[in-house]
Amino acid sequence: MTQQRPSDPADRHVEYTSGLPDADTSTAQSGPTTSNGRGERGTIPHHQSRPGPQDDRLLATGEPVRPSSSHIRGNGAPPRGSASTSARPTARPGRRAWLPNQHGAHSMLLLPPLIGWTVGGFSWVNLLFIPAWLGSYLSYWAWSQWTRARSPRRRALLLPPLAVYTTWTALLGIVTLSVAPYLVQWAVPLAPLFAIALLEAWRGRERSLLSGLATTTAASLIAAVTYSLGVGGRGGFLGLGADATSLPGSSPNGELTGWAWMWLVTALTAAYFCGTVPYIKSMIRERFNRSLLAGTVAWHALVATGAVWLASDGRLPWAHAVLWIALAIRSLAVPLWQWRLVRARRPPLRPLVMGVTEIVFCLLFLLTIAIH
């Protein structure tokens, strides 16, 4: 769900391919170009362009650097005094350094806490924990931007949001642990996932499939954390204690109760968010990647089959199983539609549209779990 920010720099710009998804991209990259540097006429962009120096300025100050018309036409370096050479970062970071532009991140951050709250009940500690959780994501965002900056000056511009978000998270985290010390146990599953995400960001691969799966799995586990807050830490270590089934929450047939039901809900939440990672990639950065699309569809079909099986036994609401069938159909239909739009040289689906659509599915996910 986190697919909109440019990835690490590389030695190429826009990739082009013919109208066929399995065309040889190396030939398209080395083929003739027109005077505007866009490649052979009639080609279709395969991936988004890799970031250049302009992206660092955009992320750091919020002010894009616009090259001169002669530079765009490919007539060599821009003239002295043009916007691309004379523009310099300002003394303070811009809005993009403070606020992520990932449209799907909002649902990923908010849905899991709401699920745990809905199943386990409200705890006033959530008023401390949820802001700390949001601060941890913002800290990760700022840190990943800082690692991508290619000059000391730009890194200095990104230090204020990094310092503010890290301090915010640390203070709220300390206060939350002081009133709910049993939350320390959740470092066992969360710490390795956070370590993978940070390591991938340090290597400049924060957009990799591994990084996306690590962050979405960690976000999904927040549903179990807020459930733990709702039940006051009861249920033993990670909900595996003897009294784990005598707690709030149950399946439609009453067979799964307490932590048994909550872990099923958490697993479905992780299945949903992990599935969105390759799904979104198949429409933006990995467009026309048939292997990725096949894996995405297979994943959604597998989970949908399991959901129907659980619903037939009364361990899952039928409405939720129907939602997974719709998600499986969407995982194939929407990417193919996106590919057709690109081949027809029509405007493709925008990331904002994809993000808003996922918010709708998240609301349906919550409703079908809560109402049964």
Give me the residues paired with residue 109 across strands.
none
φ/ψ of 346, rounded to 5, equals -110, 160
| Closest alpha carbon to 119 in 222, 220, 227 | 227
Overall domain count for the chain: 2
CA dist 367 → 7, 99, 303 (Å): 35, 29, 18
Q: Mean pLDDT of residues grouped by 10 in the chain (372 residues)?
A: 42 38 38 41 38 42 43 42 41 63 76 94 93 91 81 82 92 95 95 91 83 92 96 91 85 93 96 94 90 96 97 95 97 95 90 87 94 81
What per-residue confidence (pLDDT) applies to 102? 67
Give me the residues paired with residue 257 across strands.
250
Q: Which residue has the tokens 């310099």?
A: 88
Please check whether residues 162 and 273 belong to one and the same domain. Answer: yes
Residue 56 belongs to some domain of the structure = no
Please check whether residues 21 and 141 belong to one and the same domain. Answer: no
Please check whether residues 115 and 196 belong to one and the same domain. Answer: yes
Residue 72 belongs to some domain of the structure = no
Please check whether residues 230 and 154 belong to one and the same domain. Answer: yes
Distance CA 44, CA 74 (A): 20
Please check whether residues 210 and 321 belong to one and the same domain. Answer: yes
Please check whether residues 162 and 44 belong to one and the same domain. Answer: no
Please check whether residues 38 and 111 belong to one and the same domain. Answer: no
Taken in order 116, 121, 127, 128, the sign of the CA dihedral is negative
Residue 250 belongs to some domain of the structure = yes
Neighbouring CB atoms inside 10 A of 270's CB total: 20
Please check whether residues 108 and 223 belong to one and the same domain. Answer: yes
* Length of the chain as a residue count: 372
Alpha helix (H) residue ranges in the chain? 25-30, 53-61, 69-72, 83-86, 95-98, 105-120, 126-148, 152-179, 187-202, 209-230, 259-281, 290-312, 318-343, 351-370
Please check whether residues 18 and 164 belong to one and the same domain. Answer: no
Residue 79 belongs to some domain of the structure = no
Please check whether residues 37 and 152 belong to one and the same domain. Answer: no
DSSP-assigned letter for residue 91: S
Please check whether residues 30 and 158 belong to one and the same domain. Answer: no
* Residue ranges making up the domain that contains 41: 12-50
| Closest alpha carbon to 107 in 339, 355, 348 | 355
Burial of 29-67, coded b for 16+ CB within 10 Å and e otherwise, reads beeeeeeeeebeeebbebbbebbeebbbbbbbbbbebeb
What per-residue confidence (pLDDT) applies to 154? 79
What per-residue confidence (pLDDT) applies to 244? 83
Q: Which residues contact 322 (CB under 8 A, 6 or more apart)?
A: 368
Say what the alpha-carbon torsion angle 364, 329, 346, 277 is, to the nearest 10 degrees.
Answer: 70
Residue 37 belongs to some domain of the structure = yes
Report helix, strand or coil for 302: helix
Distance CA 154, CA 89 (A): 7
Please check whether residues 127 and 264 belong to one and the same domain. Answer: yes
What per-residue confidence (pLDDT) applies to 101? 65
Residue 70 belongs to some domain of the structure = no
> Which run of H or E residues covers position 45?
strand 44-45
Residue 97 belongs to some domain of the structure = no
Residue 92 belongs to some domain of the structure = no
Give me the residues paired with residue 6 across strands.
none
